[in-house]
Chains A and B, each alone.
Chain A
Amino acid sequence: MTLAVLFPLLMAAVCGLLARPLGRRSGYLAALGFVPALLLAVPLAGNSVEAGGTPLAQVTNWVPELGLNFAFRGDGFSLLFAVLIGVIGALASLYSVAYLSPHERFGRFYPYLLLFGGSMLGLVLSDNLIALFGFWEMTSVTSFLLIGLWHTRSEARDGAIKAFLVSALGGLGLLAAVALLSVAGGSTLLSELDLEAVRASPLFVPALLLTLLAALTKSAQLPFHLWLPTAMEAPTPVSAFLHSATMVKAGVVLVAKFGLIFGSSPLWSGIIVPLGVATMFWGSWRALKQTDLKALLAFSTVSQLGLLMALYGLADAEGRFAATTHLLNHAAFKAALFFVVGIIDHETGTRETFRLSGLRRKLPLTFVVAGLATLSMAGLPPLGGFISKELFYEAMLHAGPGFIAVAVIGSALTLAYCARLIRIFFGDFRAPEDDGGRLLKSEIHEAGPGLLLPPALLAGAALLFGVLPASAEWLARRAGTALGFAGYEGHLELWHGVTPALLLTLLTWGLAALLVWQTARVYFLQVHLEFPVSSNRIYRGLLIGLETLASRLIAGTQGLALPDQLRITLAAAGLMGGYAVWRAPQVFQPLEGVPLSTLPIAVLLVAGALGVLLSRNRLTAVVLTGLTGFGSAVAFLAMRAPDLALTQLLIEAVTVILFLLVFRSLPGFRSLPRGRTRQIIDVGLAGAAGIGTTLLILASLRFLSPPISPYYLENAYKGGGGKNVVNVLLVDFRGWDTLGEVMVVAMVALAVGSLVRLGRRGEARSENDTAPTLPDLLDLQERRP
């Protein structure tokens, strides 16, 4: 399992390196990256998973002291999902070989795709809560990169930023939830949480709410659904991957897995089920309005995710069984449909429903594939979607009449948008034209096998799930033990007698027929029915608010003149010293242990500092500042710290040189016009800061107890094998710190380097580098449907 997660990440590097020589063929390598995930099907098929035997577990230590490890746990549900990711990831890679233009930047596309797939695999397989959070955030970041792949288009940038902001918000929620859970449950391993303790803990409700925030944002549930439709700016194979098996399903995975912890609380289903059903209704309502096929599918995903959420949110065996079945069905038909839309886009040059008609004649094979997948999405027999829709109704029957009504309406709308989708294949063929009446493509012909095979396989699966329900049931049952529905008796069947669910289905069909019959009126209603509150408007408002707040904050703190900023800093130092004295008056006791020989050094230091004040020339000032530094070095020597003294000496030398180099290009001293009172205030501030800092240092000297130096003196030679304790400390005991500090040094050098270069006119300015401004982004959202 570790291999399954690591391999895509590894292949990402390989693909990145080989992208230039291989071009689009690196897609085959990418598909190879998902092979270990596919191999997980072997343990999945084994009997132990269903019978509830010990799941596979692999632990790789990371920071064991903090309970932070890579613990992968392959129970039935995780493995099922991992295989799903593997299948669709591999298919998406193969599909995109044929789909993308040969001039695409493959050096980015496939690595991003693999990184994304790998982090998603890590997310579903991870048993460690903190690693789970890490993978969760990785999916956010990589999906940001994928959605924004065509970053020269402002829509893509906008979509990527929106997706990232929303899902990162949820990510923060997850981080907090994970922390609370591990505190309350006494373990960072999901499988070892003490559920009794968690339920009894006062942290239960906050953890529940935060987890929900994460799940709802990631899976685009109602208040947070806004990012998903704009995420369709990603290349189509990515959308297929994103919408069917990964990113958006991450929230569903979270609800499914954490439902075992939180499901007992009425709050859990009380929030998820209404929101899920409402999302289902809203998504299908909006989907019906779309004329762009991809947007239609995107809203359809929102709707279907609502359905899944509602089912898992019920947190009973029946709901979980139904949801797992639908999870499989949805993955199959949604990926297939995205692939089909990709084909249509590729072959005809447009995705607008009103430009397309009669495609059946030109693209017969695509028609068959699309037909199967659409039937499944619409929930019509004899496809998998029908079965899972029946199960959904069954489950909703227990939830309450209000839910049934919304569910039926939502399903009818689903049927209606499916009809709109499939309609492009019927009627007379008309070659699609653009707005000016010119043909988009001179000739339209069937797609090649590279484009057709992936959706055909998936549509075949959708058909199989319907015709042979036992296959879907066998698969869904694999997750039974992990999700707590192993004992559930229900079976998947196409025909299970005249049940209330069947009657509801008939009602749905009636409603849908009405909707299709009155298409024009429904569309009129949709266009003219504007809701006063839209989450897009709220998002925009928040973005503007944040911008304003930030600029005010900057203007209030950074806009001050340099002397004013200095005054604030100095006053703070003085106050801190005062606070130290107030809290610990005993620092005024005479200090022992300071040798008298340091006195002349102190005099030297003070003289240097005063000299800086009196100097009227930059050069003199720099050299005198250096004097205080060199003086400190001498002081260190007097205190028998040669290493420190040497460092101080050299740092001082380099600093003086750098200062001189900088000051060379600065104008000369100009004395600032200051009044007498100002001068007195400044002197007072400077004195207070000096005294305050001194007191603070003295206070910290006194209260650092017990000192840690004896430990190092004792262990430096034993543990690190060096006689120079300082050096052993730096390279061994606190090696991490040193590494971090070295990185800081590197960053500073790079930052200063680019700053200096920026100062030179005409350099480091490129038209392509300009980021979109906020008004641009807002304007774009305004125009979005």
Chain B
Amino acid sequence: MSPKRSSTKRAKQAVRTVPDRPRPGDLLINDPILKTISRAAFALVLLFALLLLWRGHNAPGGGFIAGLMTVCALILHRIANGDSALRVDPVKFIPWGLALSFITGLVPYLLGRPFLKSDYGYLTTALTGEFEWATALLFDLGVYLVVVGAGLALAYALIEVKPTELVEGDG
């Protein structure tokens, strides 16, 4: 009887609104070490993501993976600096990405070939040597945009949630 009562009592003490204590997510914001590292990491990860997107057709990579990686980079930036690296609402990427993917599919259909039939060819320029272009890249770019938009929208929405109560054992 008595331990039970004491435990509820303790829980009651623990449950309280916390305006004064920093939230767990806040702990890392403006942390100098993280901030410095994140700057380099952000650029590197972003570059690598674009590389993955670019080479996806022939080597491991692709729009989905690149999108996820970009999301990671942006979340890192957000956590380290406390603000978004993008000037636009990430949700806006979603319709553009969908439209791009859909239109890449629609174009071959309108030209009398199956919907989403991809085309490719080779181009040789002095700068790059022989290089392959594929309409699939555009489709992948659409996928990339949707994934970035969706992932960031999720993450930002959750970051902005303000915890109203904290209980012992957290953070």
Contact = CB atoms under 8 A, between A and B. Distances in A.
B101 to A, nearest CB: 6
**Most chain-A CB neighbours within 10 Å: which of B15, B139, B162?**
B139
Contacts of A664: 23-25, 161, 163, 170-171
Interface stretch (A41-49, A586-594, A645-653): A645-653
A548 to B, nearest CB: 36
A260 interface: no
Contacts of B25: 661, 664
Contact of B105 (A643, A727, A735, A748): A735
A735 B139 contact: yes
A745 B105 contact: no
B56 A724 contact: yes
A616 interface: yes
B6 to A, nearest CB: 15
Interface in B36-87: 52, 56-65, 68-69, 71-72, 75
A722 B58 contact: yes
B62 A735 contact: no
Nearest to B75: A657
Given A668-B169, A722-B134, A727-B61, A650 B15 contact: no
A683 interface: no
Interface string A225-239: 000000000000000
A510 B169 CA distance: 92
A752 B116 contact: no
B61 A669 contact: no
Contacts of A727: 56-58, 61-62, 136, 140
B143 A738 contact: yes
A617 B62 contact: no
Interface string B145-171: 011011101110111111111011111
Contacts of A646: 52, 60-61, 65
Contacts, number: 175
Nearest to B56: A727
Contacts of A642: 60
Nearest to A650: B68
Interface in A626-684: 642-643, 646-647, 650-651, 653-654, 657-658, 661-669
Interface residues of A, number: 50
Contacts of A723: 57-59
Contact of A654 (B56, B72, B115, B164): B72
A708 interface: no
Contact of B154 (A668, A749, A759): A749
B91 interface: yes
Nearest to A735: B116
B132 interface: yes
Interface centre among A616, A727, A738 (most CB of B within 10 A): A727
A729 to B, nearest CB: 10
Interface string B126-145: 00000010101001101100
Contacts of A728: 57, 136
A596 interface: no
A748 B169 contact: no
A753 interface: yes
A736 interface: yes
A739 B101 contact: yes
A3 interface: no
Contacts of A669: 169
A732 B62 contact: no
Interface of B: 15, 23-25, 52, 56-65, 68-69, 71-72, 75, 91, 94, 97-98, 101-102, 105, 115-118, 120-121, 132, 134, 136, 139-140, 142-143, 146-147, 149-151, 153-155, 157-165, 167-171
Interface of A: 616-619, 642-643, 646-647, 650-651, 653-654, 657-658, 661-669, 720-724, 726-728, 730-732, 735-736, 738-739, 742-743, 745-746, 748-750, 752-753, 756-757, 759
The 4 closest A-B pairs by CB, nearest first: A721-B120, A749-B150, A668-B169, A735-B116
29 contacts: A646-B52, A646-B60, A646-B61, A647-B68, A650-B68, A653-B68, A654-B155, A658-B158, A661-B159, A664-B163, A664-B171, A721-B120, A721-B121, A721-B132, A721-B136, A724-B56, A732-B118, A738-B143, A742-B101, A745-B150, A748-B150, A748-B154, A749-B150, A749-B154, A750-B94, A750-B153, A756-B158, A756-B160, A759-B161
